[in-house]
Amino acid sequence: MGNPCLATQYHTLQSSPVISVSSCHQTGYSLQNDNHAASGYYLPHGLRPNGAPALESPRIEITAYSQYPEDEVEESSSEDHIIKRGVNSIVTLTLPNADGYRDPSCLSPASSISSRSCNSEASSYESGFYNYDNSPQNSPWQSPCVSPKGSSMLLSCPHASGPAGSPHNSPSTSPQIGAVAEEGWPAQLRGSRPNSPSYSGGGGGNGGGGGMGKRKVSLTDENWLANTNQYTNSAIVAAINALTTDGVIDMGEGIPIKTRKTMMDHSPSMSLKVEPGGEELGLDGELCHEDYPSRLALKKENYCGGFLDVPQHPYSWSKPKPYLSPSLPALDWQLPSCSGPYNLQIEVQPKSHHRAHYETEGSRGAVKALSGGHPVVQLYGYMESEPLTLQLFIGTADDRLLRPHAFYQVHRITGKTVSTASHEVLQSNTKLLEIPLLPENNMRAIIDCAGILKLRNSDIELRKGETDIGRKNTRVRLVFRVHINQPNGRTVSLQTTSNPIECSQRSAQELPLVEKQSVESYPATGGKMMLLSGLNFLPDSKVMFVEKAQDGHHLWETEAKVDKDSVKCSSLVVEIPPYRNQRLTSPVHVNFYVCNGKRKRSQCQHFTYLPPNVPIIKTEPSDEYDSLGTAGLPMRSKHYYSQPRLTPIMPVADPDACLVGVYPPCPPRHVAIPSSSPSSSPTLQDLSPVAYSKCLPSSPTRETPVCPNLTHPASPDHNTCLGMLHSQGSPGKLNSPGPHGYHPIYANSSPSSSPVSHPSTPGGTAESPFIQTYSPSQAQATASPPSLLPEDASPPSMAITVKREPQDQLDQMYLDDVNEIIRNDLSSISVHTHA
DNA sequence: GATCTGGAAATACAA
DNA sequence: TCTTGTATTTCCAGA
């Protein structure tokens, strides 16, 4: 089994074999008048709408047996942009040849063995563009498990529905209808509970039966889900299972018996749960999706092992067109929240606590906002009329780079109280909730449909390759993504993350949480007052500063003085204690935490003691937090995972070396920015201190298109602009600094990074991971492109070597480098001055 | 009747 | 290896 590391996988994506599956035509959104999208959707690789060079990859073509009547085919085939699919249309499917987005050392829950069951299979093929990390071993064709639901997609003809499709097709249709109605997934997905075999995918549904009756072989729905899961089809999986080395298979003959069986009698066994106006989409991955719990594997396998039920999806509410690019960035890629005119913002942050529910429990509802409402996300700068899809998944909140959380999954909430439409899909074994972002709603979405499911630690930890530990790893973040197709064929991917959310029952009420700190670093002499903002601070809360050696043992620990009088539940003022060694020659990275008692500690926050004579690295004032500052203490978000915004005082050796953003820096928000997002994502996801040093102009205020010159360590898609811009060819120039001047990076969240999560280990703050990936010193060594880089990788300037080193060591390296640069800079200034 | 919640007992783990 | 304290899971019951 190869290294499933995302990097690798992604990297190999371009050279991965492509399976062309001839299947029934898929109208997908074509009916909705989006040729562009459609084409993109159907031309994952070799075929680019814009004629961009297709990836040169070996292909395996599968001629699928058409399930659709010719007439239907014609209807759907009207889409020129789509590869003509007659009875035997061809769809190219990229076969990811890499494993899960996490390598063995960074497996996600899904990467476990169990995840390789039907679920993962299904998920892997949910869509060619959704799953890149499917390694051969994960290949559906290696597994008998096939998602019944999925099967429909491939074999079925999507929406060849009536002319113009159903009214629901209209993107403008209120998603809410679907929202409330649709429930297919949730019901099954919920809690990853064993799905009943009897659950058939969209058989019922409003569409399935009557309205959509025209579709004899229903199967897919071009509905939203269908689109997003185009390749999720079990059918495809089945086809692949039957795949021969010949490459071309007549689906009629080649389709696994199971598949054909499915087509023949899918209805009987399908007791599709029909919901009002519901969309029974999602079913396809669902049945097999959830294999998190290994204990369920058996059941699922049994189920999956059966013939494929082909759900007859009813037509569903119109959904925004899903992102159609075949090369979406992996979930553990760090993406910017803003690029060019676009800015993805979390307008209303979720509450810091949300008790996740177990599979054995009922839902505990949707994540709520502090105000009592729900989180709100909005995309600014998007002026097109095309709806977009907002993706949401549960990410980590530890001190490492953001990545899908192994122990938590987003859970779709439905019900009368839910006003936002959504559906679940799997990407890289991580469940994503897709929510429409509609122009009519000002590209704003109220996230009232997202709950959080807790997977049992044992189920995840026992999985082969899983290295994360679940114990005390109970904090998560909501991660939102949106992919915007550009006229030039590229795609801009934005991502924003919420504040951390504590998901455990107990700690939610007892553990202190530090969200912000007013001081990042200070001379070893200490004495300065630092304001901490967060939750659950008590009058008797203690603030402990600790320094640990690389091996983890304590080198120093001291209790800081807390101003008892000023302690509030949400804020606390503490005096920075003097460091043990006043003769520092280089910055020392320490941590501190708030303690409400034994075992009731906040996660560690980072703090840096500076040598007496070294200028303090100025912490860029956070406009967002200034208002929070009290007593003249400017606050800045400093979650253990956040990235300190260092004023880029480091010289930029070669700004040009950095990819230049396609867009100028994010313009100031042209829309009023809700003040309710004190720690809106941008701040939280600035994970690239080095990016600054390498790409940022020397002036923090300079709005020069800068792009994260960080290429995904092993990104195969260098030329897709490191994940943010999925260009079909040219190396993209990337993005711009965020509103605050910092730059997001597209660094791999290091699937191979520390294998074990350190929820409570301060370890490397946000910067750590970054440094780990691109430390200044390493950047210099970039001269020699890492072997991980694709051959067709971008220009030398982009070839940034990614060398992984011990976290602490890197932290220090980074600090040392910064320090040195500062010194040099100062001496230089000094010289000039005197001169 | 299905959900959502808050509590807490039963277990599993770790120090 | 036993004890004790925590953390995790599973159950219950009320709204």
Shortest-distance nucleotide from A451 CA to C1': B4
Q: Which bases of chain B are contacted by protein, using any atom under 7 A from a CB?
A: 3-8, 12-14
Res. A392: pLDDT tops 90: yes
Determine, yes or no, domain membership for A560: yes
Q: Which of A556, A587, A610 represents a domain boundary (last residue)?
A: A610
A516 and A500 fall within a common domain: no
CB burial of residue A113 (10 Å; 0-12, 13-18, 19+): middle
Mean per-residue pLDDT for A734-755? 32
A492 and A515 fall within a common domain: no
Q: Where are the alpha helices (DSSP H) in A205-319?
A: 205-208, 224-228, 234-242, 251-254, 257-264, 266-269, 283-289, 294-305
pLDDT band at A353 (very low <50, low <70, confident <90, very high): confident
Determine, yes or no, domain membership for A436: yes
Q: pLDDT higher for A424 or A127?
A: A424
Residue A662 DSSP code: S
Q: How far is CA A420 from the centre of its chain?
A: 20
Which protein residue has its CA closest to C1' of B5? Answer: A364
A558 and A431 fall within a common domain: no
CATH assignment at residue A360: 2.60.40.340
Q: pLDDT higher for A358 or A314?
A: A358
Determine, yes or no, domain membership for A516: yes
- At A121-131, the pLDDT tens digits run 223 222 322 33
Query: What's the half-sphere exposure (Cβ side, CA atoms, 13 Å) at A288?
Result: 36
pLDDT band at A567 (very low <50, low <70, confident <90, very high): confident
Res. A305: pLDDT tops 90: no
Determine, yes or no, domain membership for A416: yes
Q: pLDDT higher for A719 or A539?
A: A539
Q: What is the pLDDT of residue A342?
A: 95
Q: What is the pLDDT of residue A692?
A: 25
Bridge partners of A574, per DSSP, are A530, A562
Q: Which two tokens stand for residue A802?
A: 């990614």
Q: What is the pLDDT of residue A418?
A: 86
Determine, yes or no, domain membership for A187: no
Q: What is the pLDDT of residue A530?
A: 93
Length A248 CA → B3 C1' (Å): 50
A409 and A491 fall within a common domain: yes
Average pLDDT, chain A: 51
Residue A565 DSSP code: G
Bridge partners of A444, per DSSP, are A378
Gyration radius of chain A's alpha carbons: 26
Length A343 CA → B1 C1' (Å): 43
Q: What is the pLDDT of residue A385?
A: 92
Mean per-residue pLDDT for A30-42? 30
Shortest-distance nucleotide from A418 CA to C1': B3
Shortest-distance nucleotide from A293 CA to C1': C9
Length A354 CA → B9 C1' (Å): 22
Is the torsion defined by CA of A461, A467, A471, A473 positive or negative? negative
Shortest-distance nucleotide from A509 CA to C1': B6
Q: What is the pLDDT of residue A439?
A: 94
Measured in degrees and rounded to the nearest 5, phi and psi for residue A444 equal -120, 135
Q: What is the pLDDT of residue A387?
A: 94
CB burial of residue A554 (10 Å; 0-12, 13-18, 19+): exposed
Specify whether the CB–CB gap between A215 and A27 falls below 8 A: no
A584 and A605 fall within a common domain: yes
Residue A39, CA distances (Å) to A57, A88, A629, A787 in order: 19, 17, 50, 33
Distance CA A238, CA A567 (A): 62
Question: Could you list the protein residues whose CB lies below 7 A from any atom in strand C?
Answer: A 358-362, 454, 456-458, 470-474, 504-507, 598-600
A401 and A539 fall within a common domain: no
Measured in degrees and rounded to the nearest 5, phi and psi for residue A726 equal -95, 80
User: What residues contact A196, with CB distance under 8 A and at least 6 apart?
Assistant: A188
- At A482-520, the pLDDT tens digits run 999 988 888 999 999 998 898 988 654 566 777 788 999
Name the helix (H) or strand (E) containing A151. helix A148-155
Determine, yes or no, domain membership for A521: yes
A360 and A457 fall within a common domain: yes
Q: What is the pLDDT of residue A505?
A: 84
Which of the given ranges, A391-395, A532-536, A780-784, has the highest pLDDT on average?
A391-395
How many Å from the N-terminal Cα to the C-terminal Cα in chain A? 63
CATH assignment at residue A603: 2.60.40.10
Length A260 CA → B2 C1' (Å): 37
A498 and A412 fall within a common domain: yes
Q: Which bases of chain C are contacted by protein, using any atom under 7 A from a CB?
A: 5-13
A595 and A532 fall within a common domain: yes
Q: What is the pLDDT of residue A510?
A: 63
Q: What is the pLDDT of residue A445?
A: 93
A501 and A361 fall within a common domain: yes
Mean per-residue pLDDT for A457-470? 83
Q: How far is CA A142 from the centre of its chain?
A: 27
Q: What is the pLDDT of residue A806?
A: 36
Q: What is the pLDDT of residue A553?
A: 66
Cα angle value A359/A363/A365 (rounded, 5°)? 145
Determine, yes or no, domain membership for A747: no
- Going by DSSP bridges, is the β-strand pair A18-23/A59-63 parallel, antiparallel, or unpaired? parallel
Mean per-residue pLDDT for A168-179? 32
Cα angle value A120/A122/A127 (rounded, 5°)? 115
Q: Where are the alpha helices (DSSP H) in A245-374?
A: 251-254, 257-264, 266-269, 283-289, 294-305
pLDDT band at A655 (very low <50, low <70, confident <90, very high): very low
- At A587-641, the pLDDT tens digits run 998 888 887 766 566 777 889 999 876 555 544 433 333 333 333 444 544 333 3
With H, G, I as helix, E, B as strand and everything else as coil, classify residue A244.
coil
Encode A571-598: b = buried (16+ Cβ within 10 Å), e = exposed.
bbbbebbbbbeeebebbbbbbbbbbbee
pLDDT band at A401 (very low <50, low <70, confident <90, very high): confident
Mean per-residue pLDDT for A337-363? 91
pLDDT band at A367 (very low <50, low <70, confident <90, very high): very high
A556 and A411 fall within a common domain: no
Length A348 CA → C15 C1' (Å): 27
Res. A673: pLDDT tops 90: no
Q: pLDDT higher for A556 or A379?
A: A379
Q: Which of A447, A482, A505 represents a domain boundary (last residue)?
A: A505
Question: Could you list the protein residues whose CB lies below 7 A from any atom in strand B?
Answer: A 187, 355, 357, 361-366, 368, 413, 415, 417, 451, 458, 471, 505, 509
A350 and A447 fall within a common domain: yes
Q: Which of A482, A505, A528 represents a domain boundary (last residue)?
A: A505
Q: Which two tokens stand for residue A70?
A: 């010719």
Mean per-residue pLDDT for A358-362? 89
Distance CA A686, CA A635 (A): 16
Determine, yes or no, domain membership for A183: no
Length A641 CA → C8 C1' (Å): 24
Q: What is the percent of chain A where pLDDT is above 70?
A: 32
Number of domains in chain A: 2
Length A470 CA → C11 C1' (Å): 22
Residue-number span of the structural domain to which A489 is assigned: 338-505
